[in-house]
Amino acid sequence: MSVQIIARDGEPEYAVLPWADYQALLQAAGRQDVAAAIAPSPTPTANRAPLAQLQTVREAKGLSPEALARSVGISPHYLAMIESGERQPDAAILRSLAWELGLEGWS
């Protein structure tokens, strides 16, 4: 088992271990229900509306392309390229878009 200890002010505060080791500990303790309840969330692309629907979602929220782009910190032109599928935004931009649009699963 590989464990990383994180200390604060010289005192151990957290123990970080690989997910598989954590699950094995939960299973040994008879707590499989906990492991299932806190399993890692799926990748952002697994449960979000496709980027192809970004324009539809933005319009449904009543946001102009300029307002959304500026609030996310990108240019309106770049937002248009994302909405058209010409560009694939990085994770930080996806998180910002999700935050501004009130969407879950993009974080």
Q: Is the same domain home to 27 and 64?
A: no
Q: What predicted TM-score, i.e. pTM, was given to this entire model?
A: 0.53
- Same domain, residue pair 37 and 2: yes
3-class DSSP state of 40: coil
- Total structural domains within the chain: 2
* Structural domain of 26: 1-41
What is the pLDDT, as a whole number, of residue 70? 95
85-107 per-position pLDDT tens digit: 889 898 899 889 988 988 876 65
Whether 107 is in a domain gets the answer no
Cβ(70)–Cβ(79) under 8 Å? no
pLDDT at position 29: 85
Domain assignment present for residue 46? The answer is no
CA distance 93 to 72: 7
Does residue 47 contact residue 38 with C-beta atoms inside 8 Å?
Answer: no
* pLDDT tens for each residue of 30-88: 876 655 555 544 444 444 456 778 899 999 999 999 999 999 999 999 999 999 888 98
Average pLDDT over residues 11-34: 82
Assess whether 36 and 55 both reside in one domain: no
Write the CB contacts of 103 (distance below 8 Å, at least 6 apart in sequence).
Answer: 48, 49, 57, 97
Token readout for 59 is 């319009």
CATH number of the domain encompassing residue 55:
1.10.260.40
Q: Is residue 106 part of a domain?
A: no
Say if 58 falls within a structural domain.
yes
